[in-house]
Amino acid sequence: MPLYRDEAIVLRTHKLGEADRIITLLTRHNGRVRAVARGVRRTSSRWGSRLEPFTHVDLMIADGRTLDVITQAETLTPFSAGLGQDYERYTAGTVMLETAERLAVEDKEPALQQFLLLVGALRAMASGDLGRDLAGESGLIQAFRGSRDAMRELAARMERLSRGEAVEVSRVAGDLGQAFGRLQEALSAIADQARTIADGDLRRDVDLPGALGEAIQRMTGNLRAMVGRTQGVAGEVGGIVVSLQAAAAQLSAATTQQVAAVTETANTMTEMAQTSAVSADRASELIKQGESAAGVVEEGAGAAESAVQSMAAITGSLDKVAQASGALAERVQKIDGITETVTFLADQSSTLAINAAIEAARAGEAGKGFSVVAREIRTLAADSRKAAAQIRELLSEIRERTGQVDASVGAGTRTVEDGSRLVQKLGDVIGQLGVTVHDAVGLMRQVEGSARQHQAGVAQVSQALTSMQKASESIRDGARLLGELSGKAHGLSSGLQAAAGAYVLPAAQPRAEA
């Protein structure tokens, strides 16, 4: 894409998309050029502010199919800084930019003289120096010279008029000079009318065309109506002020009585507030005592619950003992059966031993060894019967002891159950007592809250009465002040009537009623 460099004056800008602008330029070498400046509407753009109207810039531009593209911009002269401080110069500069754009018939047609003329005019207007002449003898330059001279003369005359000086008739030819002459005549007529009104004469009308004459006439009419109303109202104001003085005296007496009544009521409310505070404090003490009792009740309920749990644990332990005792009885019964079996085996062994001894005796010498064995078996059988008898005695004693244990466990279980029921009943009573104490504490809290609310309400009423007392005192003082001000107002109304009477109204103008 080919590039070219040129100086230019920014004539106008148009938005393109979300971040771009179309810039219309008047360049030194290429005439009017329209180019796209990409991204200049973003806040992060580094050279967006350089492409604003009235800016003299040095550009690097790339040729495009429909629109060229600005690739670089450097500010040479920011004319907008000087023109933006004066509305008239800014308006004239805008006209110059629009004229320069319209005079360029085609894009990229060289217009060097037009570019130089625009740069020189903008530089002169931005600096405020309109005394420098422009080089050249073209028709546009000559027309600009004539307009410039006429504007100089009219500016000087307008400055003298703004200082209140007399100005001769304008010598500027054309519509601009005639318009200034009509403006001068209108200002003179307005000044004469103002002097007449200042002298107190409202009988004269001013004859000026247009909105200015209508406004002056309306102002004169409004002054006539205002003066007429003032003259009519001034007398009535005096009568009203006298009535205000009498009303102020009555209001002062009434408010004095009201202040005394409010003061007495406020004292009574203060005593009521003190009584409510004492009641609330006593209720607070009872609440503390109730909370302490509730704590004791809760501790008792906890102890009863612990006792019930301990009783249940003891009952469980006794049940285990009873179960163990039953198991022991079963084992004793089994052992007793085993003992009987042992006794039976011992008797059988003894019988077998006797039979064996008889057979050994029959055998003679050959049966001596067998005889010894039979004797030992009889001895062992006798010992077994003896041991079985001892075991029976021990089992009998164990049965007796086990029966005693079962009886003791049963009695203990019944005692524990009775104790559990008593402790449970005690816990229920303590729980009911706790509910009662909590209810009593809640009632006392309600009593305390009611007392505090009553105290607060009485305090608010007392405060309101105090405010009412102050307000009544203020009203009383205001009534006294109103009486004093009414006297002053009477004097002012007399002065107002005299001042309004200094103006002379037209004979046909009736005085307005208040």
Q: Which two tokens stand for residue 467?
A: 């405010």
Q: Which two tokens stand for residue 341?
A: 């079996």
Predicted confidence at residue 513, as pLDDT, reads 44
465's CB contacts (< 8 A; 6+ apart) are: 262, 265, 266, 269
- Helices 87-103 and 112-127 pack at an angle, to 10 degrees, of 180
> Helical H runs in 199-209?
none
d(CA 161, CA 177): 15
Type of residue found at 95: V
Q: Could you write out the DSSP letters of every residue in 258-306?
A: HHHHHHHHHHHHHHHHHHHHHHHHHHHHHHHHHHHHHHHHHHHHHHHHH
d(CA 357, CA 380): 15
Let me know: does 262 contact 475? Beta carbons within 8 Å. Answer: no
Let me know: does 59 contact 6? Beta carbons within 8 Å. Answer: yes
Predicted confidence at residue 292, as pLDDT, reads 81
Let me know: does 3 contact 60? Beta carbons within 8 Å. Answer: yes
Q: Which residue has the tokens 């085993």?
A: 338
410's CB contacts (< 8 A; 6+ apart) are: 322
d(CA 226, CA 240): 20
β-sheet bridge partners, residue 73: 59
- The pTM (predicted TM-score) of the whole model is 0.32
With 0-12 CB in 10 A as exposed, 13-18 as middle and 19+ as buried, what is 226? middle
Type of residue found at 37: A
pLDDT in tens for each of the 514 residues of the chain? 789 999 999 999 999 999 999 999 999 999 999 999 999 999 888 888 899 999 999 999 999 888 999 999 999 999 988 888 888 888 888 988 998 898 887 889 998 988 998 998 899 888 876 555 555 555 445 555 555 565 566 556 666 665 666 566 555 555 555 556 666 677 677 777 777 777 777 777 767 666 666 777 778 778 778 877 776 776 677 667 677 767 767 777 777 777 777 777 777 777 777 777 777 787 787 788 777 877 877 777 787 778 778 778 887 877 887 788 788 778 878 887 888 888 888 788 878 878 877 877 777 777 767 778 877 887 888 888 788 888 878 878 887 887 887 788 778 777 877 877 877 787 787 778 778 777 777 877 887 787 778 778 777 777 777 877 787 777 878 777 777 777 777 777 777 767 767 777 776 545 444 3
Handedness of CA 498, 503, 504, 510 (dihedral sign): negative
Q: Three-state DSSP class for 12?
A: strand
Q: Could you write out the DSSP letters of every residue in 213-232?
A: HHHHHHHHHHHHHHHHHHHH
The tally of CA atoms less than 13 A away on the side-chain side of residue 249 is 6
Predicted confidence at residue 10, as pLDDT, reads 95
Q: Three-state DSSP class for 512?
A: coil
Q: Is residue 7 within a helix (H) or strand (E), and if so which, with residue range?
A: strand 3-16
The pair phi, psi for residue 254, each rounded to 5°, is -65, -40
Let me know: does 228 contact 511? Beta carbons within 8 Å. Answer: yes
Q: Is residue 467 within a helix (H) or strand (E), and if so which, with residue range?
A: helix 368-500
How many Å is the maximal CA-CA distance in the chain? 195
Q: Three-state DSSP class for 504?
A: strand
Q: Which two tokens stand for residue 8?
A: 């230019």
What Rg value do the Cα atoms of the chain yield, rounded?
A: 65
Let me know: does 215 contact 222? Beta carbons within 8 Å. Answer: no
Instruction: Express the helix, strand and coil content of the chain in percent, nearest 5 each.
Output: 75, 10, 15
d(CA 325, CA 336): 16
Handedness of CA 450, 454, 460, 464 (dihedral sign): positive
Let me know: does 78 contact 57? Beta carbons within 8 Å. Answer: no
